[in-house]
Amino acid sequence: MSELTVEMHPISGVYLGTCAANIKKNGQPDLVIIELAQGSLTEATFTQNAFCAAPVTVAKQALAEANPRALVINSGNANAGTGKQGMIDAEQTCTWVAAELGCNPNEVLPFSTGVIGENLPMDKLQSGIPEALANLSIMGWPQACEGIMTTDLVPKAVSREVMVEGHSVMISGISKGSGMIHPNMATMLGFVATDAKITQSCLQQCLSDAVNVSFNRITVDGDTSTNDACTLTATQQADMPVIDSQDSKAYQDFSKAISEVMTELAQMIIRDGEGATKFVTVLVEGGEDSEECLKVAHAVALSPLVKTALFASDPNWGRILAAVGRAGVSNLDIDAIKLFLGDVCIVENGGRADSYTEEAGQAVMDQTDITITIQLNRGKVTEVVWTTDFSYDYVKINAEYRS
């Protein structure tokens, strides 16, 4: 596992504590508690998987009742598919953390990631919570980043200082994810914090907009997790006027910065996709609306035949053409479509481009970062999705996941 090389800016009002509670079999850090200063505002998005994990249900309920004072995250166990006992265990975890911090249980949001269908080892959690709290530090981002990892090979963190209408604002975020990646709301797990002063409604819209152009645009394998969640916390401690209008330049600047941070975190997940050897951008241009652009992009990005060709560095353009054709776009004029590998045109006028050569296609496919562009030429909308190839290691990692 690689070490975090990004310098993380501390966020005033955010303290992170991490420990190894022996939930993971390898003895690596697996319990993280994030304490948030009084007055902080938090918004979150969660998985739309019907079999959502117990912590997702508990976190949703708690967030509807109070602003969180703490987040508690365990890795190594998803607490999903665990029925009533899973709910009891998630609530008990919040109760233990709340008792230590002197807040109400509904001011603690639980998050879990790991193996589905196994009960939380509550004895390990109970003994680990005081240790994690003892390690609370405003500089605790690197340790927390490691503590939320499962099959990740590299930690994923982004931190930057941005100027909002002449005022300095800090943003730091971490995420985890490598497999079971096809979000339908957010990322596998992502936690972003800022010291910005902003209203709840503006914060909510900012998160929604950012997630839509970042975590909702990545896919490794088409599997939406039971545990996906993403939070955005604003501690209100920056020296600045409150951002209270979505029409203001301050909001636009801030929202753009949050979207950039989350996009970078999302792309890190793709680059660390299980067994991935390629980072693939699927760009669909000239659609009538976002829906049809995304249909086409996902048809290509999720195709096992396209993904295995990418792993083999095989310019088998017929697989891309076939995926576009089965995307379900109505009244598709195949003669109007152009397909590109990098800057090499591979398809036009319903067939292979006259200018295309196998050597040119091969030169693109030999690259690590590849862009597949599909020009529909039926509108003005553009959408992008990021994905990976499928390698032998993807099968191996997932076949041996519980061993």
Residue whose structure tokens are 């050569």: 357
Angular region, 192: left φ>0, alpha ψ -120 to 50, beta rest = beta
Task: Please write the tens of the pLDDT for every residue from 97-129.
Answer: 999 999 999 999 999 999 899 999 999 999 999
Whether 403 shows a pLDDT value over 60: the answer reads no
pLDDT at residue 223 in the model: 66
Strand ranges, E, within 316-400 = 338-341, 344-348, 351-352, 369-375, 381-388
Q: Which two tokens stand for residue 63?
A: 């967030």
Active-site positions? 187
Lowest mean pLDDT across 17-31, 42-56, 221-235, 335-349: 221-235
Q: Give the pLDDT mean for 232-252.
A: 98
Averaged confidence pLDDT in the chain: 93
Amino acid at 120: L
Q: Give the Cα separation of 128 and 20 in Å (integer).
A: 7
pLDDT at residue 1 in the model: 55
Q: Give the Cα separation of 244 and 259 in Å (integer).
A: 18
Reduce the DSSP state of residue 325 to 3 states and report it. Answer: helix
Reduce the DSSP state of residue 275 to 3 states and report it. Answer: coil
All domains of the chain in start order, with CATH: 14-271 (3.60.70.12), 279-399 (3.10.20.340)
Whether 193 shows a pLDDT value over 60: the answer reads yes
Q: Give the Cα separation of 176 and 216 in Å (integer).
A: 15
User: Considering the entire predicted model, what is its pTM?
Assistant: 0.92
Whether 281 shows a pLDDT value over 70: the answer reads yes
Q: Give the pLDDT mean for 331-337.
A: 95
Q: Give the Cα separation of 129 and 146 in Å (integer).
A: 17
Task: Please write the tens of the pLDDT for every residue from 361-400.
Answer: 999 999 999 999 999 999 999 999 999 998 888 778 778 7
Going by C-alpha positions, the residue among 190, 202, 188, 235 that lies closest to residue 10 is 235
Q: Give the Cα separation of 48 and 348 in Å (integer).
A: 38
Whether 185 shows a pLDDT value over 50: the answer reads no
Greater model confidence, 273 or 116: 116
pLDDT at residue 186 in the model: 44
Residue 84 CB contacts under 8 Å (≥ 6 apart), including other chains: none
Q: Give the pLDDT mean for 256-268.
A: 96
Task: Please write the tens of the pLDDT for every residue from 22-56.
Answer: 999 899 999 999 999 999 999 999 988 888 899 99
